[in-house]
Structure 1
Amino acid sequence: MAAVAVLSSCSSSSEENTETLESTENAVAEVAEPAAPAKQEVTVELESNDMMKFNKTEIFVPAGSTVTLNLTHTGKMEKAVMGHNFVLLAKGTDIPAFVSTAIAAKENDYIPESDAIIAHTGLIGGGESTSVTFEAPAPGTYQFICSFPGHYGAMKGEFIVE
């Protein structure tokens, strides 16, 4: 009888251990899934003026970040005369060829239909502001310009993704 009591307590203990092991494995599986890292958000302030200049010729952002670029025209001239925008172009874009197509896109703020455009703002005049939010492209150096006719020669810079 004592042997039966010992055996039945062993079998009961073995079932409890199996249940405990299963619940521990489930808890470990729930904990093992790492939380997704928070996406970094970056705000870039860029100014343009009546002298056809951006206040920055280099912009640095981290790879994979969400970028909000705020463009402010600090001049006084209206956009029909001295309009400015920000256009971020893909690597290897032939900028003179792109600008040639932009000239024909007046009705679209000098933004042509093009796969070369990563991001862009609308056209603004003196005292106005606009912004665009986009995902930073892969690490590397990209070109940004103002596509208003005649401006890209002076209004350009490098957008560097690190």
Structure 2
Amino acid sequence: MIGKRYLMAGLLLVGSGAAQGACDFRIEVGDTMLYGLDEMVVEKGCETIGVTLEHTGDLPKIAMGHNWVLAKTGDVAAIATDGMAAGLDNDYLKPGDARVIAATEVIGAGETTSIRFSPADLKAGEDYTFFCSFPGHYTVMKGRFIVE
């Protein structure tokens, strides 16, 4: 058993197990700056990719909010910096930012959010990162997003 992920009926859940690809992911976050997993491997054959983010902590989104944002790794710092100025009302993302491939809303204690997006423009071998754009979180709250 390796890592913080496992595959079960096409749904990648938090836990441990063999590295496998999936199309749908469920990620837990809490009152720390950590996702429940640090790597996501998607199958290129997926028609859509689904991400469900669940905040299991006690703090509201204004204090310890989290979202899930996907971008090319080289764009992460600039997206997060621009997002700080955009504020919570914009989920700490600059409106219309073309560098953002996919993103959920910012959530707090007890909330869940989901997103579905097409992998059509994702390329195997490209360097992608998922991260939280809440101010100060992106430097530690991130992971690799791999397209097989």
Q: Deviations over 1:30-85 (max 9, x none)?
A: xxxxxxxxxxx821011111011101110011114111100001111000100000
Query: Per the alignment, in what secondary structure is the counterpart of residue 117 of structure 1?
Result: coil
Q: Counterpart of 1:110? A: 92
TM-score, scaled to structure 2: 0.77
Query: Per the alignment, in what secondary structure is the counterpart of residue 74 of structure 2?
Result: coil
> More displaced, 132-141 or 148-157?
132-141
Q: Counterpart of 2:12? A: none
Q: Give the letter for the 1:138 counterpart.
A: K
| Root mean square deviation, CA, Å | 1.4
The answer to whether structure 1 residue 152 and structure 2 residue 138 are counterparts is yes
Aligned partner (choices 19, 34, 41) of residue 60 of structure 1 = 41
Q: Distance in 2 between matches of 1:134 and 1:47?
A: 19
Q: Distance in 1 between matches of 2:102 and 2:130?
A: 9
User: Any stretches of 5+ residues in structure 2 without a counterpart?
Assistant: 1-21
> More displaced, 96-105 or 68-77?
96-105
* Shift >4 Å, 4+ stretches: none
Q: Distance in 2 between matches of 1:131 and 1:53?
A: 18
Query: Per the alignment, in what secondary structure is the counterpart of residue 98 of structure 1?
Result: helix
Structure 1 residues 19-38: aligned runs within 5 Å: none
Q: Deviations over 1:121-148 (max 9, x none)?
A: 0010011100000112221331111000
Shift of 1:92: 3.1
How many residues were matched structurally? Answer: 121
The answer to whether structure 1 residue 128 and structure 2 residue 111 are counterparts is yes
Q: Distance in 1 between matches of 2:144 and 2:79?
A: 16
Shift of 1:114: 1.4
Query: Per the alignment, in what secondary structure is the counterpart of residue 104 of structure 1?
Result: helix
Query: Per the alignment, in what secondary structure is the counterpart of residue 130 of structure 2?
Result: strand
TM-score, scaled to structure 1: 0.70
Q: Counterpart of 2:11? A: none
Between structures 1 and 2, the one with greater helix share: 1
